[in-house]
Chains A and B, each alone.
Chain A
């Protein structure tokens, strides 16, 4: 509750900063706001509480996810100092919108009532539609914003219809009451099943899982790169936190109904994303498909539905965010340097003149591919262990194969950076930017070496 108020107040403060045109304090204010909120969030660790007439519950699960959302946002905000260096207006507004997105994310990591879920998803999505179009005079950005808005609106509507149908059957929005209803009813009505399907579809839209992933590549490519990094990390963390929270509490008793659906979706997601990523020429689009494939792996944690999944999903989302942010960060630098050319060829020979950038990028890519001593390895490991524990051996074998396939396209980029020749020059790394890249890289490696500290949290 305190964290929610703090993030909202800092967001509004940033909006007012925009009006005074004092560019110097926007970034510090945003960072301070995030740190204060982080402090308030962490203070709630092991102190579960409920707010809004028991509509939102703050427990360790939500605190962990909120903290990782705040960390990711902070790294993205740090990158923004350089990214928006030449932009005269609206920078504080963009940060404020990010904070409002985080506000929505907080709601959906800690909801215990479907109304709160819907409110949170809307509060999360609406600033994102604007953020996707924040490069006002770029046609691609406008297109991305519009596509995202239409798709997001449809997804929200479908989700809301699902919630309504579930309410129609169970006459309650409260998760625990829905769970009781499922346990105590012999013959569940058809609309309840329909509701679950629609909620599943709505969530798949939001977290970009196949077959509802079509908006992702276009939106990720069109949006400003920084915003893409934000969407790929924060939204994904929040989306999966909410996804797991809902399906593990309210609908866990009828897992036999929705697990086959999810099974099919995982197979489809892993197939489509990994094969499509192999064919991509642009790095941004490649990362978009890679993000879809990560959604596929994360769904494994949800389908597993045992005591390992919460920790697995948390570890995975954190590791994935810590890898994605530096990857996009390096992409921003390279892209700016090469006149907004973001093809793989733009990375040719990067290691010669810019070893630091190349190393940061390699660690990020290796983590995404799931190579040991990076966080990505244990992320995949825990998810697979959780899935095997619940008996999804075939699915896990398939996912391992998909992960191997993933290694191919990540190595194409590594190959370009280290083995190919290119006319690379020295790229100047701004200080704040460098800090963000370094911290995320170090954290990725640290999480890969000492995974226990993170996985034991949940």
Chain B
């Protein structure tokens, strides 16, 4: 049988210290590089790179709505995937009941997936009207 492990805030100290060490490493490297490297700034150099031609317009422009669609769908499905993790851990104790429950859940999930698929959310080419 599984033993119940309860985590306390103290268990997270290693990660906190690692975060501090990692941050310190990055910051030290950046500062060191800034001290070592030259600083000769000219106007041309500080312009945005655009293959050598003069910059045209601004980069803050609208982009394809498909990316939003992907982001939204990701959020939807990722929540379901995360929901599966605790189920997966406890699967052996849940047994057949857990399997059939997840079967129902997956069928509903796949029904939604099929709808999205048939609706053409993953077709990146322009739809022929």
Spell out A's residues near B (CB within 8 Å). 12, 15-16, 19
- CB A137 to nearest CB in B, in angstroms, measures 15
Give the chain A neighbours of B115 by CB distance below 8 A: 15-16, 19
How many residues of chain B get a CB closer than 8 Å to chain A's CBs?
Answer: 4
Q: Is the contact region of chain B dominated by helix, strand, or loop, or is it mixed?
A: helix
Interface 1/0 per residue, B109-122 and A, CB below 8 Å: 00100010011000
Contact A19 B118 (CB under 8 A): yes
- Bound together, the chains give a CA A15 to CA B116 distance in angstroms of 10
Alpha-carbon separation in the docked complex, A94 to B107 (Å): 24
**Minimum CB distance partner of B111 in chain A:** A12
A217–B111 alpha-carbon span in the complex (Å): 38
* 6 A-B residue pairs with CB within 8 Å: A12-B111, A15-B115, A16-B115, A19-B115, A19-B118, A19-B119
Complex Cα distance A16/B119, Å?
A: 9
Closest B residue to A15 using CB positions: B115
Which chain B residue lies CB-closest to A16? Answer: B115
Contacts of A16 in B (CB 8 A): 115
Q: How far is the CA of A19 from the CA of B118 in the complex (A)?
A: 7
* Bound Cα distance A221, B33 (Å): 62
How many A-B residue pairs have C-beta atoms within 8 angstroms? Tell me: 6
Residues of A within 8 A of B111 (CB): 12
- Taking the nearest CB of chain B, how far is it from the CB of A112, in angstroms? 24
B76 shortest CB reach to chain A, Å: 13
A19 CA / B114 CA spacing, docked (Å): 11
Give complex CA distance A12, B119 in Å: 14
1/0 contact trace for B77-121 toward A, CB 8 Å? 000000000000000000000000000000000010001001100
Given the complex, which residues of B lie within 8 Å of A19, measured CB to CB? 115, 118-119
Give the distance in Å from the alpha carbon of A71 to the alpha carbon of B118 in the complex.
Answer: 32
B83 to chain A, nearest CB (A): 16
Query: Complex formed: what's the CA distance from A12 to B109 in Å?
Result: 12
How far does the alpha carbon of A244 sit from the alpha carbon of B85 in the complex, in Å? 40
CA distance A16 to B115 in the complex (A): 7
Distance between A347 CB and nearest chain B CB, rounded to angstroms: 39
Closest CB of chain B to A9's CB: distance in Å?
A: 10
- A15: B residues at CB distance < 8 A: 115
CB distance from A6 to the nearest CB of B (A): 15
Closest chain A residue to B117, Cβ basis: A19
Q: Which residue of chain B has its CB nearest to the CB of A93?
A: B119
**Which residue of B has the minimal Cβ distance to A12?**
B111
Residue of B nearest to A18 (CB): B119
Docked CA distance A15–B118 (Å) = 11
In order of increasing CB-CB distance, the 6 nearest A-B pairs are: A19-B118, A15-B115, A12-B111, A16-B115, A19-B119, A19-B115
Docked complex Cα distance between A15 and B117 (Å): 13
- Bound-state CA distance A15–B115 (Å) is 8
Tell me, in angstroms, the Cα distance from A19 to B119 when the chains sit together: 7
Closest chain A residue to B119, Cβ basis: A19
Q: Across the interface, which residues of A come within 8 angstroms of B118, CB to CB? A: 19
Closest chain-B Cβ to A13's Cβ sits at a distance in Å of 10
CA separation between A15 and B111, bound complex, in Å? Answer: 10
What sequence of 0s and 1s flags, for each residue 55-91 of chain B, a beta carbon within 8 Å of any chain A beta carbon? 0000000000000000000000000000000000000
Contact partners of B119 in chain A: CB under 8 A: 19
CA A16 to CA B111, docked complex, whole Å: 9
Interchain CA distance A82-B118 in the complex, whole Å: 27
**Complex formed: what's the CA distance from A12 to B11 in Å?**
45
A42 to chain B, nearest CB (A): 27
CA distance A14 to B118 in the complex (A): 14
Of all chain B residues, the one with the shortest Cβ separation from A8 is: B108
Bound CA span A19–B120, Å = 10
